[in-house]
Amino acid sequence: MSGLLNLRLRQIRWEAEGICSYEFVPAAGRALPAFTAGAHVDLHLPEQRIRSYSLLNDPAETHRYVVAVQRDEQGRGGSEWMHTALRVGQRLQASPPVNDFALADSDAPAVLIAGGIGITPILSMLKQLDRQGRRWSLHYAARSAESAAFVDELKTLASAANPLQLSLSGSGAERLDIAGIVGQAPPESHLYCCGPARMIDAFLAAGAALPAQRVHVERFAAGNEAATAGGFEVVLQRSGQRVPVLAGQTILDALLDRNVSVQYACSSGVCGTCRTRVVDGTPDHRDDYLADDEKAANDCIMVCCSGSKSATLVLDL
């Protein structure tokens, strides 16, 4: 596949309980494409698995990409392979960085909220904000002190002007008061949140009255159930092939069963990799990637999780 980057794994570090970081450098020794804080890359793993991981290092670095992976034994195999099979020196391909969670171009303070592995894009943001001398505050929640990653690094970045609040549930610390954090944010500040679905839902509810351009979220898991009712047909415009989507299947499942080549990564509607143009028909949007106006336009669909409200859905495939 053209356009992919050839990377070599230089280092693996244990960061917290169930979390390791992976430092990749260019296999050919060239500088890597630049990225901005909040960006992610799609790593191409064996067995045609593609997984999206946020970059956590400083965007000023052009010689490496660093990601962190939380092991999920109940997941789809990507994190398990990274934790048990990947070795220093191995080579992987990756997409160039993409950013759907960028820092606003503003001198206003940044209020950042992270939960669990959601600290990864936030850490990159902190490094950029700190390097630029911009004001920030971080509120970070984890299940326990043992599962909280990068705490020492966060404490090094923090100061009286840029405070850090840790909420480690297992240590008896109080849970983060999301509504209070949002309500007490400085005027004109931009607010960022990455973490579990419940945290993001609380954050969006608390920030509902704020201008949308000041409220930023990144989801690692879908907030909606995938459309698996089936009972419709997908038509591939380029070939004319007709693919029935059966009960229990997503559109992606049906396409892969017919060996149709489709780009995908998260399989839960949060990364945008499988975005496909709709030629005709009405999608049943279930993703957390498209904005409301994009969903209303009905001219594209995330095939990994969304379905169809019409009997036939014609896609640009």
Question: Are both 212 and 130 inside the same structural domain?
Answer: yes
Domain membership of residue 105 (yes or no) is: no
Question: Are both 54 and 131 inside the same structural domain?
Answer: no
* Helix and strand counts by DSSP (H, E) for the chain: 7, 18
Tokens of 267: 């399989």
Phi, psi of 270 (to 5 degrees): -120, -15
Q: Can you name the residues that pair with 236 across neighbouring β-strands? A: 315
Name the pTM for this structure.
0.80
pLDDT-above-90 percentage for the chain: 77
pLDDT tens digits, 217-274: 998 876 678 888 899 999 999 999 999 999 999 999 999 999 998 888 878 888 888 9
Nearest to 285 by CA among 205, 223, 194: 223
CATH code of 137's domain:
3.40.50.80
Is the pLDDT assigned to residue 130 strictly greater than 80?
Answer: yes
Domain boundary (31, 66, 94) is at: 94
Question: Are both 68 and 89 inside the same structural domain?
Answer: yes
Q: Can you name the residues that pair with 67 across neighbouring β-strands? A: 22, 55
Domain membership of residue 224 (yes or no) is: no
Is the pLDDT assigned to residue 290 strictly greater than 70?
Answer: yes
pLDDT tens digits, 194-203: 998 889 999 9
Q: Is 180 helix (H, G, I), strand (E, B) or coil?
A: helix
Is the pLDDT assigned to residue 172 strictly greater than 60?
Answer: no
Domain boundary (94, 122, 156) is at: 94
Domain membership of residue 104 (yes or no) is: no
Q: Which residues contact 107 (CB under 8 A, 6 or more apart)?
A: 134
Question: Are both 114 and 215 inside the same structural domain?
Answer: yes
Question: Are both 87 and 115 inside the same structural domain?
Answer: no
Is the pLDDT assigned to residue 174 strictly greater than 70?
Answer: no
Query: Using CA atoms, how far apart are residues 113 and 119, in angstroms rounded to an integer?
Result: 8
Query: What pLDDT sits at residue 294?
Result: 93
Domain count, the chain: 3
Query: What pLDDT sits at residue 225?
Result: 81
Query: What pLDDT sits at residue 169?
Result: 75
pLDDT tens digits, 258-272: 999 888 887 888 888
When mean pLDDT is compared across 35-44, 87-96, 113-122, 163-172, the lowest value belongs to 163-172
Question: Are both 156 and 70 inside the same structural domain?
Answer: no
Question: Are both 114 and 205 inside the same structural domain?
Answer: yes
Helices (H), 117-196: 119-131, 151-157, 178-183
Domain boundary (187, 219, 251) is at: 219
Tokens of 223: 């907030």
Is the pLDDT assigned to residue 168 strictly greater than 90?
Answer: no
Domain that holds residue 83: 5-94
CATH code of 265's domain:
3.10.20.30
Query: What pLDDT sits at residue 170?
Result: 54
